[in-house]
Amino acid sequence: MLLELENVVSGYGDAIIVHGVDMGVEDGEMVTIIGPNGAGKSTLLKTIVGVVQPREGAIRFDGTDIAGLPPEKIVKHGICYVRQNDNIFPNLSVMENLKMGAWPAEGEDWFDFGDRLEEVYQQFPILEERADQRAGSLSGGQQQMVAMGTAMILDPDLLVLDEPSAGLAPKLVEEVFEKIVEINDAGTTTLMVEQNARAALERSDRGIVLDMGENEFEGTGGELLDSDEVAELYLGTD
């Protein structure tokens, strides 16, 4: 397992939101977490990336215990996170956004901004085309590409995405999912939360259903899509 969670409990102040989650992500997998509003999906992702501290449980990444580390340390272990909202600097250019994404790796021997920029431009040609444009002036889909490119500049082992298709028109949803599949096919393990559950599960190796802060179901993307119970409770008619 690349990422392994054991009995993870977390929340905000007195409110416990994640009630003992066990889950794992294998190296190379594309895994999607689905579940109703308020199930704690975003909180679980935030706990993995260090934005929210776990109260109990273990989080191991590539065999190392990362539970309770701050986000700037977790990013150095190779986990990059694209949050759901406000995930770009709208008043900076696309290129400046990519530079901001690179700060955690400044001074690291392995990191060469020019090389990484070339890779990211290959993955996201639109970012090269729009390099000098104000990021906030781009379309919603392009802004999501900026956010993903800013995470990919660090060449993460695990890319964590919180509802990457949120607020996008159906055609752009497809484009964003196709890009995530490409990133995954090129070797980056991906873990995402999605409300567009069917479309996400169709492309995922595995899906996890989170409800009331607990993992309720788990299976391959196909198994969850074929399950009457999962369909009735969690997939609706989207």
Choose between 21 and 159: whose C-beta lies nearer to ligand ATP.
21
CB of 36 to ligand ATP, least distance (A): 7
CB of 217 to ligand ATP, least distance (A): 15
143 with 88: CB under 8 angstroms? yes
Choose between 48 and 138: whose C-beta lies nearer to ligand ATP.
48
Q: Which residues contact 79 (CB under 8 A, 6 or more apart)?
A: 3, 48, 49, 61, 66, 156, 157, 158, 160
CB of 207 to ligand ATP, least distance (A): 14
Residues that bind ligand ATP (CB under 6 A): 12, 15, 17, 35, 37-43
CB of 40 to ligand ATP, least distance (A): 4
Burial class (CB in 10 A: 0-12, 13-18, 19+), 187: exposed
Choose between 167 and 187: whose C-beta lies nearer to ligand ATP.
167
Choose between 105 and 147: whose C-beta lies nearer to ligand ATP.
147
Burial class (CB in 10 A: 0-12, 13-18, 19+), 74: buried
| Pairing, β 64-65 against β 54-61 | antiparallel
